[in-house]
Amino acid sequence: MTTRRKFLTAAAAAPTALAAPAIAQSKIRWRMQTYAGPALAEHVIKPAIDSFNKIAGDEMEIELYFADQLVPTGELFRAMQRGTIDAVQSDDDSMASPTEVTVFGGYFPFALRYSLDVPVLFNQYGLDQIWKEEYAKVGVQHISAGAWDPCHFATKEPITSLDDLKGKRVFTFPTAGRFLSRFGVVPVTLPWEDVEVALQTGELDGIAWSGITEDYTVGWADVTNYFLTNNISGAWIGHFFANQERWNELPEHLKELLRMVTDSSHYYRQWWYWGGEAALRVNGDKLKLTTIPDEEWAQVEAAARDFWDEIAAQSETKARVVSIIKEYNDVMEKAGRPYRYN
């Protein structure tokens, strides 16, 4: 006859026999859309998301969608805010973010000379905190910021003077377009996937959207002929964002993993663009390089400083960001080589 002592001994020896059945936890699934088309996304985001999914395993998976696949790029912010999509990779400007810092996303004219300027401004000069504060007000988590390529013109006809810019219909970012219109450029807004055809049909005369690496990667070098070596910014500022409720639901270790892979994505672009910009200028066989003389281009740089002051006058937050940009550039110029070449 089984005694109570024997029963307890047997239970201790085989605890799994008495344990409550395990409850399977459902896998967390997010949908993320990038501003980039498929060819560009292979570099600017897909490696990071593939890494995240591999490490997260059965806990979480991020489904990646390319430019305009789920919603148009100009509606990315609202879709994320509503929870239609869970996360976004974009700049503030082109996704029409309703924040005080939107104007600085993408290419803010002449604020940056090199791609390393972006992480320094965000991590050492306080821009990261400002962005997080601004996005918290509108129900969005700002995860991280990083640099992309510089902003150059790729055109069908050669640009060798400021006069050559007049009347040119150019695909570019909203803020960059507002600034370039002072020199006669006609900014044109199109879905990203329609740009190549618009260049072929003559709807566009050129683009001021990227550097030469992107021109070759996405096919724009096949439908333009010239690349202007002068640029209006040394780096694009882009970000990773998430719907605030979806972010809050994540366990801390998955939040940390997401931060790490976005940082990995930023690092990948640092060397991919930096090396590509130089190599394709020297070895690329599709685009002929042109240059506007420095003394003439100085007019554009001077106009950018006036543009900064106009933006700063619009709000306290914008004034705060412009003040940081001015302080940073002053430090870089005083530091001299290799930070700035005067």
- DSSP percent split of the chain into helix, strand, coil, nearest 5: 50, 20, 30
Question: What residue type is assigned to position 251 of the chain?
Answer: P
- Domain residue ranges of the chain, discontinuous segments joined by +: 28-146+235-279
Q: Are 172 and 106 in contact (CB under 8 A)?
A: no
Ramachandran assignment for 239, one of left (phi > 0), alpha (psi -120 to 50 degrees), beta (any other):
beta
The pTM of this model reads: 0.90
Task: Return the pLDDT at 2.
Answer: 47
Q: State the average pLDDT for the chain.
A: 93
Sequence-distant (≥ 6) Cβ neighbours of residue 135 within 8 angstroms:
97, 99, 141, 142, 241
Pick from 307, 294, 319, 321: nearest CA to 129: 321
Backbone angles phi, psi at 87, to 5 degrees: -150, 160
Q: List, as one string, the DSSP characters of 117-168.
A: HHHHHHHHSSHHHHHHHHHHTTTEEEEEEEE---EEEEESS---SGGGGTT-
Q: H or E stretch including 231?
A: strand 226-233
Q: Which CATH class name applies to 28-146+235-279?
A: alpha beta
Reported as a single tens digit per residue, the pLDDT across 20-51 is 444 456 999 999 999 999 999 999 999 999 99
How far is Cα 63 from Cα 67, in angstroms, rounded to an integer? 13
Q: Do residues 131 and 142 lie in contact, with contact meaning Cβ atoms separated by under 8 Å? A: yes
Alpha carbon of 83 to those of 101, 103, 247, 257, 337: distances in Å?
22, 24, 11, 21, 47
3-class secondary structure, 108: coil
The pLDDT tens digits for 272-302 are 999 999 999 999 999 999 999 999 999 999 9
Rounded Cα–Cα distance for residues 309 and 322 (Å): 8
Segment 103-153, tens digit of pLDDT: 999 999 999 999 999 999 999 999 999 999 999 999 999 999 999 999 999
**Is the per-residue pLDDT at 335 higher than 90?**
yes
Residue 38, classed as helix, strand or coil, is: helix
Give the residue-averaged pLDDT of 217-231. 97
pLDDT of residue 341: 79
CA angle 104, 110, 116 (to 5 degrees): 80
What are the Cα distances from residue 291, in Å, to 156, 228, 288, 310?
A: 15, 6, 10, 28
pLDDT at 11 over 50: no
Structure tokens at 221: 């070098």
